Structure 1
């Protein structure tokens, strides 16, 4: 029906298995990477510009035009506005999570802060909507791992284990929880 009306539909699949080639088949485009995670959405913009130039070769879209396109696309897709997202987070978490950055889309990371413990992090909004709240309050955030002998700090158990040549991080975790234990020949603690 669309083709009879002169409307061309394009279907884009991203994050496909790497064994699939990035190709176009019957109006479907396949990409092995996540198009939303790509900086500045370069591939999507290139595709849109190409399709627009198929209609009018003189088309040249500015940054302002792209912002308007993204805004209209979000509105038409039923996506949440910033205010709607903030309200939804307030309802889900009883006001304990503060949205610090401006909400853009479900898969664009956003800065949030827990009002209970003060922990700030950058999750994808999708995970917040799914109910994944503050890692620190949930006991999932481990803190900074510190080697007592060297004073060096590591972001997590795995990073500390790799720094001292260990294959797994269980020994580091054990040493942090039991001050008399060592791992990789060092004493560890959480800060």
Structure 2
């Protein structure tokens, strides 16, 4: 017995609304740009809608849609003929902590963009999306050992990236400075 088109649409709409923020966050980390991320999520959801019956019949509908999005991103990268260079965005507010967070996010996003696409996908899914190695392997269509090596190599490249290293060093200096300032205000020496 087939379901009514209205129920099909309602199921898909509920799925899309509940998954949109997480899909968008992952897509933004994969693409490095908010507008490209929105386009990528829309493409993935359009493809999922066209195959919604198969998506709902799968063991893990979330993984199915994430896989569609990763494949769409891979196809998008293959189609790019010129590289895109991300610019540093200035914070809308001049609050120091928010500015530091924006700078750190931009540095990390830029560093992620310098990783090869497969390493980037492994790092984003494994550490930023907090997925298990098994889930990442399923999403990427790779073996668990391949996911481990891609993620390890990606993290190694991120740690070796001069901008990330400078950011980490600067963060440590600021933490020491904050602690020293707090100790001075409380009279602790």
Q: Which category of TM-score, normalised to the shorter sequence, fits these structures?
A: under 0.3
Structure ranking higher in helix proportion = 2
Larger-Rg structure:
1
Which TM-score applies when normalising by structure 1? 0.23
Determine which structure has greater relative contact order: mean sequence separation of CA pairs < 8 Å that are 6+ residues apart, divided by chain length: 2
